[in-house]
């Protein structure tokens, strides 16, 4: 069981679940349908964890050389078992999406195609980080996919803008983790950090309504003092950048992997801040609940690595 949990990198799933809570809040006035939300969370968990499993399935040859301690190359999990486990998780994700709504199923199918495209042929190409960013983009929209009958209802602001910014952030995280098994290039790490910060800047632009200057009306939040949310986002950005600068100064695998872990766990806090911004005081309990996803993620990472 421990080997299977390592295979799917269980602690990281809580960052994806936070995206679902955010996407749902962005597209609804409140959490008015618990059954639908639970189905979306289950769909997200199944698809995300299956993506992690198939990532190692496709990476078997590389892991045999660079990460022989991983479950499949070490023999802790057979290749056949891994494939069956990944397929089971993916099937569970699709079934749960169908229980949420037909639009959710379509979004889940798009996410499956993107996950397999990344895990398989595109990961090592220049398109790899952008495809991974697309997975996060679609995951946020999966949370918003039950908003209406028409599929076009999903592709509206503010969820479209926020999903895009989160996708850009993940492009930066993926670029940062590109060579985490070895010594990374300082230049590539700097570029990756700039891309991640660009995603955070896009979120700040929505919070402070700076997009109006460019003719983009994304929508307003319910918080009376948006600068408080911006301050919280700034604290998260400062934490990420401080950790990243340490990795850039000494780009050894341990430092880079620690930075990637910080970047991933920060997603939960970012999602909670944005959820609070969208719903205002009524969203405080849900924002706190989202932040609480950090607890199992941090506890589990002691036994199961994030990267």
Weakest mean pLDDT among 104-113, 145-154, 166-175, 185-194: 145-154
Q: Is the pLDDT of residue 71 over 90?
A: yes
Tell me the H-state helices in the chain. 2-7, 13-27, 34-58, 60-66, 71-74, 79-100, 102-117, 128-143, 159-176, 186-207, 226-249, 253-279, 284-291, 294-300
Nearest to 27 by CA among 113, 136, 104: 104
Task: Please give the pLDDT value at position 155.
Answer: 95
Tell me the H-state helices in 59-177. 60-66, 71-74, 79-100, 102-117, 128-143, 159-176
> Rounded to whole angstroms, how far apart are CA atoms 87 and 180?
27
Tell me the per-residue pLDDT of 134-143, one tens digit each, with 9 for 90 and over.
999 999 999 9
- Percentage of residues in the chain with pLDDT exceeding 90? 85
The CATH architecture one would assign to domain 2-300 is Orthogonal Bundle (1.10)
Helix 226-249, helix 186-207: angle, nearest 10: 180
> Rounded to whole angstroms, how far apart are CA atoms 94 and 99?
9
> Rounded to whole angstroms, how far apart are CA atoms 119 and 181?
17
Burial of 134 by CB count in 10 Å (0-12 exposed, 13-18 middle, 19+ buried)?
Answer: buried
> Rounded to whole angstroms, how far apart are CA atoms 158 and 96?
25
How do the domains of the chain map onto residue ranges? 2-300
> Rounded to whole angstroms, how far apart are CA atoms 181 and 307?
10
Tell me the per-residue pLDDT of 155-183, one tens digit each, with 9 for 90 and over.
999 999 999 999 999 999 999 999 887 88
Q: How confident is the model at residue 109 (pLDDT cuts 50, 70, 90)?
A: very high
Q: Is the pLDDT of residue 306 over 80?
A: no
Task: Please give the pLDDT value at position 148.
Answer: 84
DSSP code for 158: T
Please list, in sequence order, all residues whose beta carbon lies within 8 angstroms of the beta carbon of residue 131, skipping any fewer than 6 positions away.
114, 117, 118, 122, 123
> Rounded to whole angstroms, how far apart are CA atoms 186 and 55?
26
Task: Please give the pLDDT value at position 257.
Answer: 92
State the chain's mean pLDDT as an integer. Answer: 94
Task: Please give the pLDDT value at position 112.
Answer: 98
The token duo for 63 is 């892991």
- Under DSSP, is residue 298 helix (H, G, I), strand (E, B) or coil? helix
- Under DSSP, is residue 17 helix (H, G, I), strand (E, B) or coil? helix
Task: Please give the pLDDT value at position 176.
Answer: 96
Task: Please give the pLDDT value at position 126.
Answer: 93
The pTM of the full predicted model, rounded to 2 decimals, is 0.94
């Amino acid at each position: 069981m421990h080997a299977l949990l390592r295979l799917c990198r269980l602690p990281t799933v809580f960052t994806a679940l936070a995206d679902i809570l955010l996407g749902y809040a962005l597209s609804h006035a409140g959490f008015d349908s618990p059954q639908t939300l639970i189905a979306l969370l289950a769909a997200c968990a199944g698809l995300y964890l299956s993506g992690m499993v198939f990532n190692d399935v496709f990476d078997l040859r590389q892991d045999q050389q660079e990460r022989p301690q991983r479950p499949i190359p070490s023999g802790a999990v057979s290749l056949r078992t891994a494939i069956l486990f990944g397929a089971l998780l993916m099937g569970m994700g699709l079934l749960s999406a169908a229980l949420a709504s037909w639009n959710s199923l379509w979004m889940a199918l798009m996410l499956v195609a993107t996950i397999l495209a990344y895990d398989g042929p595109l990961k090592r190409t220049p398109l790899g980080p952008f495809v991974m960013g697309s997975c996060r983009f679609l995951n946020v929209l999966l949370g918003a996919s039950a908003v209406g009958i028409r599929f076009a209802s999903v592709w509206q602001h503010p969820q479209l803008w926020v999903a895009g910014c989160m996708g850009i952030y993940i492009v930066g995280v993926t670029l940062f983790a590109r060579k985490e098994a070895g010594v990374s290039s300082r230049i590539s790490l700097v570029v990756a950090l700039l891309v991640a910060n660009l995603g955070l800047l896009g979120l700040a632009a929505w919070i402070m309504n700076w997009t109006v200057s460019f003719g983009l009306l994304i929508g307003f939040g319910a918080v009376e003092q948006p600068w408080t949310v911006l301050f919280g986002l700034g604290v998260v950005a400062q934490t990420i950048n401080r950790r990243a600068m340490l990795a850039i100064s000494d780009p050894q695998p341990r430092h880079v992997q620690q930075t990637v872990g910080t970047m991933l766990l920060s997603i939960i806090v970012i999602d909670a801040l944005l959820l609070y911004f969208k719903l205002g005081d009524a969203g405080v309990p849900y924002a706190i609940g989202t932040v609480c996803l950090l607890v199992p993620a941090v506890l589990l990472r002691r036994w199961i690595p994030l990267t």
